[in-house]
Chains A and B, each alone.
Chain A
Amino acid sequence: MTAPYSASEFTAILLARDLHDGERGAAGASATIPMAAILLARALHAPNIQIAGEMFVNPQPRRLWHSMLDDRALGRCEAAETFTELFEHSHRGLDFFFHSGLQIDRYGNINLHFVGGTYDRPKMRGPGAANISYAARSKRFYICATQHTPRVFVPAVDFITIAGNLHGPDSRRQAGLVHEGPRYCITPLCVFDFAAETGLMRLKSVHPGVTPDQVDAASGFEVERPALVPTTSPPTEIELATLRRVVDPAGDLREGHSL
């Protein structure tokens, strides 16, 4: 079945729905979908959303680019800061941030460093992480997975680059993590949220045309799910039209553009 919208577009729309007017947040590097989500929320229902924390304050890009942390993408903005301000934002905090990963585990921990072998002699080395501080210092974050496979969704990550729920609420407290942590994990198949009591990922809704069993098969661990799994509300006409007209006129999130 071909949906009349791409998985990337859908993810951006789902994220946008959860960003609120007056909140402050940032995307990051390699973050086309998150930036699209913030811009869409700003266009639809959150005109007072503040984009800050990754050096560009309230950027106004005319289109999306596949890297969203440079002057090409964000150079039109209200102010530009430097990396020193990362400390300041740690102090003031952000409401939301976004992460993606090579591996994501059932506690929402994220690995960007290596898979297999040891840290010094990995089977597969990842890019590492530019900024890990917002996992602790933003009030919540979202996990965007562009692939949903058992290799990505693993029982336990080989290395915790970004702390999700660690090994549950107690371990979060012990580590000094005081904020909400990961709220949703959005994949091309479904939306996960996290159980407050255990910190474990659970199936919140499946995307139209996807069954819970498909999610199970695509995940490397047993997915906790309610008896009746709702279907994710598909994009509305207004959401999709605004995304395409205002945020992504060049069509970078459409099918056929790899992110």
Chain B
Amino acid sequence: MNQRATKLITQDAVGAFLRKTLQPGGSVCLGGLFKQNRPVALVRELIRTGIGELLLFSSPGSGYDVDLMIAAGLVAETFLPAVTLETRMCSNFRDAVENGRIRAHAVDALTIVGGLTAAASGLPFYPVAAWHGSDVTKINPLITPMVAPFGGETLHAVKPIRPDLVLLHAQEGDEYGNIRHLTTMTYSDALMARAGTKVIVSVDRIVPTDAITRAPRATTVPCIYVDAVVELPFGAHPTGSFPHYSIDEAFIDGFADISDDVRRDPAARPRLDDYLARHVHQPRDIFDYVDGAGGYRRMAELEREARFL
């Protein structure tokens, strides 16, 4: 009785949390950036729920995880500024757009950050001044031209972005949902947490609340913005979670190779289904997943790379 409620949920409970907070056709927003701090384990769990027709948002740079969601057929529309593995393209995304299976809206970083800022601040819009001359302004569904009330400059107003569900990954958190990034960069994670209707965070490790209260300025996402926290060691894999473990480029390439083949020749699709079965649907938990992704040996290599940067 009379005890503060924990927000810590078990791995087994993540699926139920996702089903409770997200309907088919709902909106999801992913934290991290490109190949680091992406909530990939949560994305795999989301794919397992089969909740589809999703509107997908992300921090300005996305790659492996959104391509995985698209490969699994969960996504109806994307609001993603850049979709790339940086050294190569995301073939599932490309193929789905080229064949009309998804609508990929033209948005950029300031659309996303402006829209999240509006939502987080309870504002009806956020003004942006920096898009002169780009065709993105002509078809971006989240913006409209406006005249500045002071000075009369022509700007664009961005609509609030309030995702139904925000998925984040960080290095540490306590059971009440106080989140701590140990990375150098923190992307727009804190902003997304403030903007989202519901927020779930995976952390590499749960720490005692004492560790949080000893250094409150180190808390990057306070518990008041977090609905559930789950301990998922290597939960960002194959993206990096610095300073704990680096980016598994070989693993990402393995997926990209298969995806490239399927884009060239749809007859190769069973290989992609095998990949989804092996790495998304079959693993019973994160430990089982890690075993299938190179196990302790591979994770130790990625940890070592992160230590020696």
The answer to whether residues A66 and B134 also contact, given A55-B185, A84-B191, A130-B108 and a CB cut-off of 8 A, is no
**Cβ of A56 under 8 Å from chain B:** yes
Nearest Cβ on chain B to A202's Cβ, whole angstroms: 21
Could you tell me if B184 and A77 are in contact, using CB atoms closer than 8 angstroms? Answer: yes
**Cβ of A175 under 8 Å from chain B:** yes
Encode contact with A along B272-283: 1 for CB under 8 Å, 0 otherwise. 000000000000
7 sampled A-B residue pairs with Cβ under 8 A: A72-B305, A82-B187, A128-B81, A130-B108, A131-B108, A134-B130, A258-B87
Could you tell me if A259 and B87 are in contact, using CB atoms closer than 8 angstroms? Answer: yes
Q: How many angstroms from the CA of A256 to the CA of B112 in the assembled complex?
A: 37
The answer to whether residues A123 and B98 also contact, given A70-B36, A80-B186, A83-B59 and a CB cut-off of 8 A, is yes
CB neighbors of B among A149-190 (8 A): 159-163, 166, 171-172, 175-177
The answer to whether residues A163 and B134 also contact, given A83-B59, A127-B82, A128-B106 and a CB cut-off of 8 A, is yes
Q: A55-B185, A82-B186, A114-B97 are in contact. List 11 more A-B contacts (CB 8 A).
A: A29-B84, A66-B86, A69-B33, A84-B188, A90-B129, A127-B89, A128-B82, A129-B136, A132-B108, A166-B133, A171-B133
**Cβ of B215 under 8 Å from chain A:** no
**Cβ of B110 under 8 Å from chain A:** yes
Q: How many angstroms from the CA of A87 to the CA of B104 in the assembled complex?
A: 24
Write the chain A residue with the least CB distance to B91.
A125
Q: What residues of B have a CB within 8 angstroms of the CB of A77 in the complex?
A: 184
Could you tell me if B106 and A113 are in contact, using CB atoms closer than 8 angstroms? Answer: yes
CB neighbors of A among B205-246 (8 A): 240, 242-243, 246
Encode contact with A along B49-77: 1 for CB under 8 Å, 0 otherwise. 00000000001110000000000000000
Encode contact with B along A117-149: 1 for CB under 8 Å, 0 otherwise. 101111111111111111111000000000000
- Picked from A67, A122, A132, A172, the residue with its CB within 8 Å of the CB of B134 is A132
Nearest Cβ on chain A to B278's Cβ, whole angstroms: 26
Q: How many angstroms from the CA of A244 to the CA of B222 in the assembled complex?
A: 44
**Cβ of B132 under 8 Å from chain A:** yes
**Cβ of B309 under 8 Å from chain A:** yes
CB neighbors of A among B124-156 (8 A): 128-136, 139, 154
Q: How many angstroms from the CA of A71 to the CA of B130 in the assembled complex?
A: 27
Q: How many angstroms from the CA of A90 to the CA of B108 in the assembled complex?
A: 14
Could you tell me if A72 and B240 are in contact, using CB atoms closer than 8 angstroms? Answer: yes
Q: How many angstroms from the CA of A253 to the CA of B133 in the assembled complex?
A: 33
**Cβ of B190 under 8 Å from chain A:** yes
The answer to whether residues A71 and B240 also contact, given A84-B117, A90-B130 and a CB cut-off of 8 A, is yes
Q: What residues of A have a CB within 8 angstroms of the CB of B183 in the complex?
A: 71, 75
Write the chain A residue with the least CB distance to B99.
A121
**Cβ of B290 under 8 Å from chain A:** no
Q: How many angstroms from the CA of A88 to the CA of B307 in the assembled complex?
A: 32
Q: What residues of B have a CB within 8 angstroms of the CB of A162 in the complex?
A: 134
**Cβ of A245 under 8 Å from chain B:** no
- Picked from B93, B106, B110, B247, the residue with its CB within 8 Å of the CB of A133 is B110
Nearest Cβ on chain A to B8's Cβ, whole angstroms: 26
**Cβ of B94 under 8 Å from chain A:** yes
**Cβ of B289 under 8 Å from chain A:** no
**Cβ of B90 under 8 Å from chain A:** yes
**Cβ of B35 under 8 Å from chain A:** yes
Q: What residues of B have a CB within 8 angstroms of the CB of A80 in the complex?
A: 184-186
Encode contact with A along B95-110: 1 for CB under 8 Å, 0 otherwise. 0011010011011111
The answer to whether residues A70 and B185 also contact, given A123-B98, A124-B94 and a CB cut-off of 8 A, is yes
Write the chain A residue with the least CB distance to B249.
A66
**Cβ of B176 under 8 Å from chain A:** no
**Cβ of A45 under 8 Å from chain B:** no
- Picked from B80, B108, B133, the residue with its CB within 8 Å of the CB of A175 is B133
Encode contact with B along A96-125: 1 for CB under 8 Å, 0 otherwise. 000000000000000001100101111111
**Cβ of A225 under 8 Å from chain B:** no
Could you tell me if A119 and B106 are in contact, using CB atoms closer than 8 angstroms? Answer: yes
**Cβ of A76 under 8 Å from chain B:** yes
**Cβ of A74 under 8 Å from chain B:** yes
Q: How many angstroms from the CA of A77 to the CA of B309 in the assembled complex?
A: 12
Could you tell me if B309 and A121 are in contact, using CB atoms closer than 8 angstroms? Answer: no
Q: What residues of A have a CB within 8 angstroms of the CB of B109 in the complex?
A: 83, 86, 130-133
Q: What residues of A have a CB within 8 angstroms of the CB of B34 in the complex?
A: 29, 67, 69-70
Q: How many angstroms from the CA of A62 to the CA of B305 in the assembled complex?
A: 13
**Cβ of B43 under 8 Å from chain A:** no
Could you tell me if B240 and A30 are in contact, using CB atoms closer than 8 angstroms? Answer: no
Could you tell me if A130 and B309 are in contact, using CB atoms closer than 8 angstroms? Answer: no
Could you tell me if B61 and A69 are in contact, using CB atoms closer than 8 angstroms? Answer: yes
Could you tell me if A87 and B242 are in contact, using CB atoms closer than 8 angstroms? Answer: no
Write the chain B residue with the least CB distance to A162.
B134
The answer to whether residues A122 and B186 also contact, given A129-B108, A133-B131, A136-B131 and a CB cut-off of 8 A, is no
**Cβ of B166 under 8 Å from chain A:** no
**Cβ of B30 under 8 Å from chain A:** no
Could you tell me if B246 and A133 are in contact, using CB atoms closer than 8 angstroms? Answer: no
Nearest Cβ on chain B to A132's Cβ, whole angstroms: 5
